[in-house]
Structure 1
Amino acid sequence: MTQQPSIGRIVHYVSHGTPGGEYTKECRAAVITELTSDPEHPDQVGLAVLNPTGFFFNQACEHHEAEGDDEAGMPGGGALNHPGGTWHWPERTA
């Protein structure tokens, strides 16, 4: 990962969706609220997730690089290429 997480940065959180498929996984805007000090999980962060229906707070959220991310750290793929409950850097737009 070329970018480093820091408090206040905007990232994408991937929602889990529902088991029955009524709701699919979605990227949601999130703000990094804490950094973990665990050396085994340096990319874990605490997030304040901004949903259309309210806020969600998640501690120890794992970072995930998607299939399609390149060596320069440019993210790609959207929610379908990330497991639910993880965070990633927002995709670049043209």
Structure 2
Amino acid sequence: MHPTIGAIVHYVSYGTPGGEYVKECRAAVVTEVSPTRNAEGWWVVGLAVLNPTGFFFNRGCVNHEIFPAAPGEPELEEAAVNHPGGTWHWPEEVA
């Protein structure tokens, strides 16, 4: 799926090295889209990240998608655990 300006996505926060804060998914709005993908094939966008304590703006944020586990492979429950900090992904489907 191609990202578009105004789309709602999830941004993964970095957390802190000491563990005071863990990685978490945050709501974000796409503010700009690179016309091409990066060398690894991921979309690069600008985001307005909506945090409980305020807004954070991140330009050049790379997409990172996790594809469904193959049959017999375990699936991790927490979305942020599956994605590197500082990346964005499409929201998970809610059952």
**TM-score for both structures, normalised by structure 1:** 0.83
Q: Deviations over 1:34-59 (max 9, x none)?
A: 0113x352600000000000000000
How many aligned positions are there? 86
The code of the aligned residue for 1:47 comes to L
Q: 2:84: which partner in 1?
A: 83
The secondary structure found in structure 2 opposite 1:79 is: helix
Q: Which runs of 5+ in 1 are unaligned?
A: 71-75
Mapped to 1, the partners of 2:7 and 2:61 lie a distance apart of 14
**Moved >2 Å (runs of 4+):** 67-70
Stretch deviating more after TM superposition (76-85 or 23-32):
76-85
Matches within 5 A, 1:1-12: 3-12=1-10
Distance 1:56 1:6 in 2: 19
Give the CA deviation at 1:4: 1.2
